[in-house]
A and B are shown apart, each in its own frame.
Chain A
């Protein structure tokens, strides 16, 4: 049953992630965090960071990561198959159609309207990741022991690096991680 659910979840992710890049991220979050609760929002944020640092598309990374955790190697294979199956069917179909009609205009114009919607849902996923990063218990409860002002500072620092210098995303993320590690080690020192 679990394998079947994994398969269909990732089938849906693969079939609906138009636009490449981060387009799959909100769909993955919806399926594996919100609908099935296979991993927590914190772990999802970690998964996105890991996917950013390793080669390969985020959907394949997520399929393997979640599949392994839920059902071992078989889960990883089934989930990955689910997420690439729509690609295999759609791409070959489109390639056949294309050789006949030599035009993708209708499809490309439809995708043009999809693009802003994709940007919006990626932005929403970004908001959830920031909530997971800033609020230690994952809820919007404003209190000194829940809201990490330090991490808001790291976020602004990383955003500054990404926008104003040619800093790579991987370096910016690792810097934030190392800074947090240093600060918490320092805080744990006996006074």
Chain B
């Protein structure tokens, strides 16, 4: 049974709004929950197709949660669907952070709040170090020397030579593209 388009739009909005408001732990969690909702619960998207949509969300720039909402919305109801889902995905964080922003200005100079925030800086540093640790392990596990070289060179350039992040990203992307094209050509030549 194919539901009415307005019903799809409403469900898209409510689902992305709900998922965005109550999901902690980043984009990959949201993508899994989107799959649960639209593949397993509503049966509007096939499992295989959903994997492709997730690949698109992860290969695009920007937050994975926003990309996931856009691609699912677009697939189900075109541009209107994408617009409705992205609105649902960004409204909750916008509301939370506008309120926090106002409170931050009013309270951050109070001694006890300043101490709380200062201690939390040490904690968030640990969270980032731990995340980098996991990501570095993945790069090492790839057993691809080029990836390790890129990691080390990028870190040295960024940390000790103050090279702008933009150039580092563009350099790595250019290298990756050339390498992919070269490998494609080599494989093509052999076939």
- A-side interface residues toward B, CB under 8 Å? 12, 14-18, 20-22, 24-27, 30, 42-43, 45-46, 48-50, 52-61, 64-65, 68-69, 73, 76-77, 80, 83-84, 86-88, 90-92, 94-95, 98, 104-127, 129-130, 132-134, 148, 151-152, 154-156, 158-159, 162-163, 169-170, 172-181, 183-185, 188
Instruction: Decide if B111 is an interface residue (CB 8 Å cutoff).
Output: yes
Q: Is the interface of B mostly helix, strand, loop or mixed?
A: helix
Check A124–B158 contact: CB distance below 8 A: yes
What class of interface size applies to chain B in its complex with A? 35 or more
Select the residue from B64, B158, B181 with max chain A CB neighbours within 10 A.
B158
Instruction: Decide if B80 is an interface residue (CB 8 Å cutoff).
Output: no
- B-side interface residues toward A, CB under 8 Å? 20-24, 26-28, 52-53, 55-67, 70-71, 74-75, 79, 82, 86, 90, 92-94, 96-98, 100-102, 104-105, 108, 111-112, 115-133, 135-136, 139, 146-148, 150-155, 158-159, 164-166, 168-169, 171-173, 175-177, 179-181, 183-184
Check A174–B166 contact: CB distance below 8 A: no
Check A91–B117 contact: CB distance below 8 A: no
Tally inter-chain residue pairs, CB-CB below 8 A: 346
Q: A83-B62, A92-B79, A124-B159 are in contact. Are A45 and B124 (CB under 8 A)?
A: yes
Note all chain A residues with C-beta closer than 8 A to B177.
Answer: 106, 110, 113
